[in-house]
Structure 1
């Protein structure tokens, strides 16, 4: 008989509802700066370094340029690095991170020059030391700004003592590393074409070049045949060619195609490929406005003849003969400008025909115009056949003033636009009768990644490191040349993440030319060397090689920085008493800035107290572009001075794109500014965006993606908040040993043991996406939707002394310590908030904790298999009850007492071994092996289980809300036996 419910008291205050001050709303933008200040105040990074007996782990920071606010790529990069460092620290390593900045080089110098130009000043009119000081001050300012912006992302590290490439010690070491190449014989001065920026007036490294669409002039040029060896005539006759061809062939022209008309004045040969079939053709008829003329006799690749004639507006042509490529060596050509009025005999030389494997019949004419001063293939061909180099193009991209016809004409203007040189060359070709056709072509073309201006190949004296020069330096374990050491390092010493990075870097190292070290700029570490006056670069005494001189330079740089090199009289100070200063010239080129950053292993890893014992980092981590940048230059530099790579691991990330997968651009208005995301959502949301994506490929980010990230964050935060509330007042006296726990708790421990292995393996492999996905699924599916859902009844309503409640809270405590440390490398602010909500204290921090060791004996595979089956059956029950809820037959699952039909005996036995009603959150539940009635609810993916809905018998307990027959029969009105006992 039920009690009179009108007299039932309100039991709300007797239920152990979750209690916590942890807010539902994170308020990250406002609260994160408080945690940053707290971490600085208690010295988190330094306190971690005090932990002894830990294996060092060092991520060496690739230095960003100190010249502007952070963009989203910076945020991605530094966040990944931070996750690597923090996760390894919490896995028991001494994980060190020294942030650094690249402070020399063109990006900063260019900014100062822009300021000068805005004031109408000329950099060349300013004292070089004064100019360098302005560059240094500019860099210092941006280091301070960027440091605070990086810290705001939650990045841990030795921010109080970062490394700067412009520090005096760094400049001294960079000079020392350069002088090692001076002493080991790999340094040489050569004159060869390099990628040159007329706007910035300096050579550029491949890593400083980017490719954009560019519309170029394209021209087809006729080189007249001026001499024919007999063997060509013999071949023509043997082919049965009409005798009239003999007179016409002497009027033939070899046709070349180029998209750089400005290089024609520098032509010194025409290349062909012996594997290509060539023919002799006569123009029969042309269209209006054609440059070609009827009667022109041309030699072309057979595969390309038709397309060439189409471009030239030739409407009819005839092939007169086939020409074997080998016979082309018997031709001598004239330069198209030979005899042109005003040429002053500049081009009155013979142009040889030379075989070259780089020539193809994929495009063009099958012949390649060869200017050894303006292309690498051209240069290599010139070396092979002794072609002369030309010096017609000056550093500003103009022709030398005394060049006939074109003196002073500009190829690329100081503003980065096309100058008149191309058009003037085309006009001259037309006057000379050498222009066969012309047009425009849109194609990918090299540009400076700083000025965004087009580049040219230009021959100029530069300083190189020979990467195939044999070294006798006692460091030959991995080879006797820089290239061999680099390739062996890649093959044997370095682990790449992703693995595709290995092949990319390996192929670059296999084919790369010698390293161009010199730049014709002012802000950088100078090439600290002297050359003998009057000596040639090939002379053995051309370079001064004296360890005593080198030591003086190093000491001066250590004391006063690299500016001392430019001080009046410094040469005499360094050479005095050792050599005659007047006998040597001082070099004032500066080092390629990639040499600076490539040397960081020496002055950071080797020299700092927080470096590494062997000067080698565990990992370098940067964007994929650094295979040709920092990874590359560091490899070259270290292989020359250490004999091997300076890293054991290379990790690369992709680029950031907008939500549509398009490259970000200010002009398109699709950029995402990190600070704006932080102001709206907080840095943890930005960090979570990084963790949720596969960073090894390109990343997409935008408003909708960030909204989705914030939603995931809220779901996770609610799980953690519930756990905190359920743990309110937990004490050690409550703790239950795993062996004494109910099966459900032991299943959770099994899942923790599984996750501990997976999380550690994932963090070790830098798989943050995998780690987060596993943990997020665990929190939302295994915990919130399953374990917490089942156990809230015991937590709310069981007596504090009940084993079930104590076991649940013990598991909650074990969950807390693992989840907070597992998530801490990703959500650095939120996990601090969660930790301090439970363990407040002046020195308390989640980031001083390690991931707890998880006992291996928590794993219980048979138990896990059993509960996997239980959860499958539970899905059928909950789906069946949802049908009733939707039909408004019931309002909650506790109103039900379903009958569950199970076909398989072993499954039925497993279900009967637990309180399956509790698992399904019903007031009662019947299990039977009887055949399923036709009306039983089924799920097609769970075979052999059917559910028949039945209402629970009895009344609703006013404390736990279960429907039980004994409600109303106890001391406390309206309660069930369990609740009555709990009330005492």
Structure 2
């Protein structure tokens, strides 16, 4: 028995069953670095057509999170796939380095050291910010590499190099020179915590509990007796804006009611015979909701009776003696509130526009830190967010509060500090959406871009069509300065190309610190007196920095004028996608990208955002330590990244199980292709039907895979690969062909046919998997190279894979095999039942009796080795006239019966044969030939 066992061709490979990815992956990183695999890959395609994926720069602050991992892994998969397709791929990683989060960290460090930021030299502060960003770039770079990301790390770009900053300034000054950049005074989103203006892209909406109040504005000078001794009712969720009130807006489209109460209603500060004015529909719902029943409607009035009336301020007793006129406003709605809107021109865009239209006073009563100015009656020095309750109490005292309660609603917050924002009128620098038709050009350009998913196109169209002018100035220190001189007398910006040229040249040499350190006269030159000009001290919106990256990372490097692909999270429709679009359309007249792919956010298993407070954070490093980077990459590749993605250790465990099955497939292939010789290849036409079926499936998946990378929906196909490994390979092809592989003569045509197709399977599996399972593919390839093909490429990532030949496609064989699978399924089910009943020990003890009902299925099976496919020892096919049809179970196309085959077992292959088919050594003819063959050397 020992001698016989040595004649069996068992799998042989060093590709281990256990992956230990967390320990082995760094070894392959070292292998790639030491052998300069990426450089060799780039060199091999340098003359080919380019594919450029422009990297949206992550912020250089803190360790990477799963959102970063999702983004970078997607980019890496796509780049590797395009390298495979023969493209010269350019993917240059970048980092966004300026902005508030870094300032905060440095200020936090100062506080720990007992230092006051205001006492630190500005250039020293900026240098500390720069060093902080540099340190995190190095850390993040290593973390991205550990994910298996391979690209031109040496050529990485950042927004804070001298060249980058010079380009950013150059791009900004083009806006100034062509008249699109202007200094304007109007309300902008303002963070009182960060003490700066914010753009829409820096705003996120969160639920907030606000004070909701209905306030009486007593009519002071009525234009009609109908309105005498009445009060206009307004509704607001920002009581702190009442000190800034300068008017009340009404609609020309609505009917308003003059309502008189017939008794005191203490909870609402209502006296008997008191009159209030409310929009008709809203009045009815308000009165009903609050159980106010004892009233009468005196009049129904329209806009002509409201216009020209003047109210007293509800806080008149505190020094607010300004008159409050009633003015018509187009933005007044009647879906909520009272049909009247209190107008605080400094704290709302529509309010500001109405103030300008009616020449209202536009006071600035709120400081940058959210504290009322010294000029604010009664509330001076108080913080606006702490003043609500005081205002409500004062309104109660003077009986001008009708109702106060709480309201949970969506409210704008800073995406960095998470603090609620306000609208605050200030002087800021804006890029006009209308001058030179920037909005029109941008909307037209959007139509010429391929958007994935397609619905994202409508999202950005809507945003660009409705967005206000772009506020690009920030009142902070760490960033690219707005390098503009203002005339001290006129306040107008200096527009001089020669001056701008000098500014750009100095910044390209010395960085933006030059703006703060070099005297004005050196920039202004001999034609201007520096005493007449002052530098702007604001810095640029960081979205302008990154929005210009296509210029300094691509155009200026001579890579490509327009990227083939931008790939970021769906929030970048209002962020980087849009800032890049506007910058490029204004300066270059077109979008900077041909295609845009967006992915969702990574959430916890319950669909909640990950946060420290919830304790639900899973970091990429946690996943790598437990599973390895390939498991995380597989999770990305098999997830529908167009939507938000849920992750948990349970879902990662499922991916690990999928990975184990794929790995076992690869191991089986390598083990059974040991000592493979390319002279063993069997031509396609001579292959058995099952081998042709497998080739057809390879062709189908390979074609879909190529198309999926072009459509950026490859997650659909990776499920097919997993199913292919589990179903067609492990459960069918491998299971059925083990007998041939282990027991046939070494060079039998049948065995060579199996190994020919196994060679194909391995080659295409590595082709499909190498962009995703980068470490595992390399590990298996090195086994392949050392054990099977010594002439194979140095790395699987250097392999020039071919497409599956079209002759492998065979749709007819698929339909034929559906009939064979019906038979196999029925036989397997019956054998399993007989094994459970202890009638059979293995399927090889079975004798299968079949009777086919039609000629079609007879023709299909005549070229198929049914014993092999069914993994049984004996098949008996009988005709429909056979006398032993009784006892056969009937199916759609055949009749079936399973019996125990009482023959003799071959000691080598364990199949059962008739006694006459077994020799004296208990070997079947095939095994006897295999053992005695001169080529048998195990």
TM-score normalized by the length of structure 1: 0.91
> Equivalents in 2 of 1:550, 1:134: separation in Å?
28
Tell me: CA distance 1:12–1:590, structure 2 relative to 1, closer, same or farther (3 Å): same
Tell me the SS of whatever aligns to 1:304.
helix
More divergent stretch after superposition (27-36 vs 208-217):
208-217
Tell me the CA shift for residue 195 of structure 1.
0.8
Residues 152-184 of structure 1: per-residue CA shift (max 9 Å, x gap): 011111112211100110000000010110111
Tell me: CA distance 1:825–1:285, structure 2 relative to 1, closer, same or farther (3 Å): farther
**Structure 1 residue 372 and structure 2 residue 345: aligned?**
yes
More divergent stretch after superposition (802-811 vs 212-221):
212-221
> Equivalents in 2 of 1:263, 1:815: separation in Å?
70
More divergent stretch after superposition (326-335 vs 454-463):
326-335
Tell me: CA distance 1:383–1:930, structure 2 relative to 1, closer, same or farther (3 Å): farther
Residues 906 and 913 of structure 2 are in contact (CA less than 8 Å); yes or no, is this contact kept in structure 1? yes
> Equivalents in 2 of 1:185, 1:513: separation in Å?
17
Tell me: CA distance 1:15–1:626, structure 2 relative to 1, closer, same or farther (3 Å): same
Match of 1:873 in 2: 823
Tell me: CA distance 1:484–1:933, structure 2 relative to 1, closer, same or farther (3 Å): farther
> Equivalents in 2 of 1:44, 1:404: separation in Å?
71
Tell me the SS of whatever aligns to 1:77.
helix
Select which of 890, 893, 897 maps to 2:840.
Answer: 890
Tell me the CA shift for residue 816 of structure 1.
1.2
Tell me the SS of whatever aligns to 2:635.
helix
Residues 285 and 315 of structure 1 are in contact (CA less than 8 Å); yes or no, is this contact kept in structure 2? no
Match of 1:655 in 2: 601
Tell me the SS of whatever aligns to 1:668.
coil
Select which of 887, 893, 908 maps to 1:959.
Answer: 908
Instruction: Say what the alpha-carbon RMSD is for the aligned residues.
Output: 2.0
**Structure 1 residue 34 and structure 2 residue 27: aligned?**
yes
Residues 335 and 351 of structure 1 are in contact (CA less than 8 Å); yes or no, is this contact kept in structure 2? no
Residues 345 and 353 of structure 2 are in contact (CA less than 8 Å); yes or no, is this contact kept in structure 1? yes
Residues 54-105 of structure 1: per-residue CA shift (max 9 Å, x gap): 2111111111111101111111111111111111111221122111110001
Match of 1:453 in 2: 419
Match of 1:237 in 2: none
Match of 1:526 in 2: 481
Aligned residue runs from structure 1 range 174-185, under 5 A:
174-185=168-179
Residues 541-595 of structure 1: per-residue CA shift (max 9 Å, x gap): x2211111111111111111001110151x1111122322222221110000010
Match of 1:473 in 2: none
> Equivalents in 2 of 1:312, 1:899: separation in Å?
84
**Structure 1 residue 981 and structure 2 residue 925: aligned?**
no
Residues 438-471 of structure 1: per-residue CA shift (max 9 Å, x gap): 222222222112212111110100000001112x
Residues 196 and 203 of structure 1 are in contact (CA less than 8 Å); yes or no, is this contact kept in structure 2? yes
Residues 269 and 400 of structure 2 are in contact (CA less than 8 Å); yes or no, is this contact kept in structure 1? no
Match of 1:595 in 2: 544
* Structure 2 gaps, min length 5: 933-938
Tell me the CA shift for residue 422 of structure 1.
2.1
More divergent stretch after superposition (548-557 vs 267-276):
267-276
Tell me the CA shift for residue 123 of structure 1.
1.8
Aligned residue runs from structure 1 range 815-834, under 5 A:
815-834=761-780
Residues 286 and 313 of structure 1 are in contact (CA less than 8 Å); yes or no, is this contact kept in structure 2? no
**Structure 1 residue 401 and structure 2 residue 374: aligned?**
yes
Aligned residue runs from structure 1 range 285-364, under 5 A:
285-309=263-287, 314=292, 316-338=294-316, 340-341=317-318, 343=319, 347-356=321-330, 358-364=331-337
Match of 1:242 in 2: none
> Equivalents in 1 of 2:854, 2:308: separation in Å?
91
Tell me the CA shift for residue 226 of structure 1.
2.8
**Structure 1 residue 276 and structure 2 residue 262: aligned?**
no
> Equivalents in 2 of 1:869, 1:813: separation in Å?
27
Match of 2:935 in 1: none
**Structure 1 residue 466 and structure 2 residue 426: aligned?**
no
Tell me the CA shift for residue 19 of structure 1.
0.7
Match of 2:633 in 1: 687
Tell me the CA shift for residue 306 of structure 1.
4.2
Match of 2:463 in 1: 508
Match of 2:204 in 1: 210
Tell me the SS of whatever aligns to 1:436.
strand
Tell me the CA shift for residue 855 of structure 1.
1.3
> Equivalents in 2 of 1:304, 1:777: separation in Å?
60
Tell me the SS of whatever aligns to 1:180.
helix
Match of 1:415 in 2: none
Residues 263 and 374 of structure 1 are in contact (CA less than 8 Å); yes or no, is this contact kept in structure 2? yes
> Equivalents in 1 of 2:26, 2:646: separation in Å?
27
More divergent stretch after superposition (248-257 vs 958-967):
958-967
> Equivalents in 2 of 1:89, 1:289: separation in Å?
73
Residues 250 and 326 of structure 2 are in contact (CA less than 8 Å); yes or no, is this contact kept in structure 1? no
Tell me the SS of whatever aligns to 2:342.
strand
Aligned pairs, number: 925
> Equivalents in 1 of 2:876, 2:306: separation in Å?
96
Residues 659 and 700 of structure 1 are in contact (CA less than 8 Å); yes or no, is this contact kept in structure 2? yes
Tell me the SS of whatever aligns to 2:440.
helix
Tell me the CA shift for residue 956 of structure 1.
0.9
> Equivalents in 1 of 2:353, 2:79: separation in Å?
46
Tell me the CA shift for residue 204 of structure 1.
1.0
Match of 2:936 in 1: none
Tell me the SS of whatever aligns to 2:213.
strand
Tell me the CA shift for residue 641 of structure 1.
1.2
Match of 2:643 in 1: 697
Select which of 439, 443, 446 maps to 1:487.
Answer: 443
More divergent stretch after superposition (591-600 vs 425-434):
425-434
Residues 225 and 253 of structure 1 are in contact (CA less than 8 Å); yes or no, is this contact kept in structure 2? yes
Match of 2:562 in 1: 616
Residues 287 and 313 of structure 1 are in contact (CA less than 8 Å); yes or no, is this contact kept in structure 2? no
Tell me the CA shift for residue 317 of structure 1.
2.2
Match of 1:49 in 2: 42
Tell me the SS of whatever aligns to 1:467.
coil
> Equivalents in 2 of 1:882, 1:396: separation in Å?
77
Aligned residue runs from structure 1 range 36-185, under 5 A:
36-52=29-45, 53-185=47-179
Residues 880 and 937 of structure 1 are in contact (CA less than 8 Å); yes or no, is this contact kept in structure 2? no
More divergent stretch after superposition (645-654 vs 388-397):
388-397
Tell me: CA distance 1:485–1:322, structure 2 relative to 1, closer, same or farther (3 Å): same
> Equivalents in 2 of 1:200, 1:887: separation in Å?
76
**Structure 1 residue 639 and structure 2 residue 617: aligned?**
no
**Structure 1 residue 900 and structure 2 residue 850: aligned?**
yes
* Structure 1 gaps, min length 5: 1-7, 234-245, 412-417, 471-480, 537-541
Aligned residue runs from structure 1 range 756-771, under 5 A:
756-771=702-717
Residues 306 and 326 of structure 2 are in contact (CA less than 8 Å); yes or no, is this contact kept in structure 1? no
Tell me the CA shift for residue 917 of structure 1.
1.7
Tell me the SS of whatever aligns to 2:481.
coil
Match of 1:799 in 2: 745
Residues 967 and 976 of structure 1 are in contact (CA less than 8 Å); yes or no, is this contact kept in structure 2? no
TM-score normalized by the length of structure 2: 0.96
> Equivalents in 2 of 1:9, 1:257: separation in Å?
94
Tell me: CA distance 1:599–1:777, structure 2 relative to 1, closer, same or farther (3 Å): same
Tell me the CA shift for residue 312 of structure 1.
7.3
Match of 1:243 in 2: none
Tell me the SS of whatever aligns to 2:345.
coil
Match of 1:478 in 2: none
